[in-house]
Amino acid sequence: MSQLLPLFPLDIVLFPKMVLPLHIFEERYKEMIGECLRSKAPFGVLYTHQGTTARVGCLAGILQVLKKYDDGRMDLLAQGGDRFQILHFDTSASYLRGWSEALADREGTRPPDRKAAQRLLELFRETARILKRSEAEKVVVSPDYQGLSFQIAAGSAIPKTVKQRVLEGRSETERVAILIAYFNEHLPRLRQTRVAAKRAGSNGHVR
């Protein structure tokens, strides 16, 4: 069943369970967030870039309003919920809305292969070590690896176009494969950069 959903187009990709800090300052979004607060309803976040807005997004529930300003601006924390897809947009309000329906994984899909999931974790952790990022420490791995791809995509410095492909994936196996392909392509360059940096730090002499 479709529903009319208030939409917040942003240059980010929101994933389920991901916490999103927001500063609300535009009048139309002050109105939208005010209505969501009054009705205790979520809004939808859609990735938008260079005039193009994706049709698959993630619901955002308001966790907490951190600060309200005298002019109506506010700082808040939202958290990603279920995914949705837009059937068609509605521009009759001051802010963008869309008729949407839930986007779930395909029926009958199985958990990802254990070896593939472990390989993804290895690639992600190596990337985090090279880039000296701490996101890998925050990943919580469930016994069946469900939700692993969303956690890794949310915590990785990967292109937003790749993140959007992960969000649109219709099975954990598909999403894991997208991320493995990305890391396999880009990790060699990161490794070379690390080796070059070590050589430069040792005056060109390999230890």
Could you report the per-residue pLDDT of 143-164, keeping only the tens digit for each? 899 999 999 999 888 999 999 9
Q: Which superfamily, per CATH, for 3-102?
A: LON domain-like (2.30.130.40)
Report pLDDT for 14.
Answer: 98
Name the pLDDT band for 201 (thresholds 50, 70, 90): low
8 Å CB contact between 167 and 13: yes
8 Å CB contact between 27 and 52: no
Pairing of strands 97-102, 74-90: antiparallel
Name the pLDDT band for 195 (thresholds 50, 70, 90): confident
Q: Kind and range of the H or E element at 81?
A: strand 74-90
Percent of the chain at pLDDT exceeding 70 = 93
Name the pLDDT band for 197 (thresholds 50, 70, 90): low
Pairwise pLDDT comparison (156 vs 1), residue with the higher score: 156
pLDDT mean across residues, the chain: 92
What tokens were used for 146? 């469900």
**Residue-range domain boundaries for the chain:** 3-102, 114-201
In whole angstroms, what is the distance from residue 162 CA to residue 175 CA?
Answer: 10
Please choose, from the candidates 144, 132, 126, 133, the residue with its C-alpha nearest in 3D space to the C-alpha of residue 180: 126
Q: What is the pLDDT of residues 169-179, one digit of tens each?
A: 999 999 999 99
What tokens were used for 95? 């802010």
Residues 6+ apart with CB under 8 A from 66: 21, 74, 75, 76, 77
Name the pLDDT band for 16 (thresholds 50, 70, 90): very high
Name the pLDDT band for 139 (thresholds 50, 70, 90): confident
Report pLDDT for 151.
Answer: 95
What secondary structure does DSSP assign to 53-65, as a single string? Answer: E-SEEEEEEEEEE
Report pLDDT for 90.
Answer: 97
Name the pLDDT band for 200 (thresholds 50, 70, 90): low
8 Å CB contact between 190 and 127: yes
Report pLDDT for 43.
Answer: 98
Q: What is the pLDDT of residues 35-79, one digit of tens each?
A: 999 999 999 999 999 999 999 999 999 999 999 999 999 999 999
Pairing of strands 97-102, 43-49: unpaired
In whole angstroms, what is the distance from residue 111 CA to residue 173 CA?
Answer: 7
